[in-house]
Structure 1
Amino acid sequence: MVGSLLALGVPARLRGFHPDAQAARTPAPVTRGRRFLAMLCDLLWSVVTRVVVAIAVQLLQLERRDLLTSGLANDVAWWVVLGTWLVLVLATGRTVGDVAVELRFVREPDGAAAPRALRRPLRFVAGIGGFMLLDLAPPGWQWAAWLFAAVSLVAMLLTVNGRGLPGLVTGMRVADARER
């Protein structure tokens, strides 16, 4: 992140990269590598956001001189992040990783898909939301979240275009977000 911020100060002519506006709008093939990068972005965004929220909650506790445990800060952070993800996926049908790598789930023109009202909730539960919900399990049961992550990774590797669990559960396919 620091390197990216420092790179902003380098003049464009010295960066060696000259984006072509037309090429930036042209859809690219959906690869498993691209899907994996989206999944990794989701995981990293969840972890980083959770840490930031937990630190903010702990700072508020110090400010108020509360004698609350760090467990509360972690619980609050987890619920805030889970709620944020839920709102994002229900509102857009996409995760942070999907947006970062320009992906979206679309219905096949003649394919059988989950009913429209269920697609986004199912997308949430079969993706990062399912992992996060399982990670909230009582101590000793967090292995279920990591089993879910492993199954998600295998499903992404074995399904067409890496549609993974969200695609299997919703009956949707992964497409470039710039695709019409």
Structure 2
Amino acid sequence: MADKVSITIEKYRIHLDPEVCVYHVEVARGDGVWEETCPTREHLEMFLQGVRAGCESYVTLPETRVAPDDVPTSTPIRAKGRGPTMSEITAVRYLTDDRDARRRNELVIWVGGNGDWYVAVVPEGEGTIGRAVRICTSGGASSKVPGLTVAIANAFRALANVAGEGITHETRS
């Protein structure tokens, strides 16, 4: 008998561009909660197909775009072992949603042209480091640009240390 699955989908509007949305999905199952952020409706549909099939992975299409004319369709090629380059960051969006204090402010950085993403969440304050900072990465973004997690975590850690505030790190798979 399969575990009972509960799916919650929240649609977030982009702070500076109300025409662009992302979808945050939480799937509660017997083995815990599984979270995913889908930058497009197409990603959301593929993710839900994977959930329905009992599969914890889904394939993103290289041509999937975050917004029209916003993200290049090709992913720059990087030699193995080299550090990340700025050319691999294809979009940066600041999201805000006053309905949910935990996710009030999100900085989402898309890496590559295939929908891999990185998200840093600042739950308190507008553009400031509050009492705690959660830094989350998707598995795809971590493997695509391995130094990105460390670089952004170190930047937030330095700001948190100056402000005397705490910092935590979370990886989304």
More helix by share: 1
Q: What is the TM-score normalised by the length of structure 1?
A: 0.25
Q: What is the TM-score normalised by the length of structure 2?
A: 0.26
Instruction: Specify the structure having the higher radius of gyration (Cα).
Output: 1
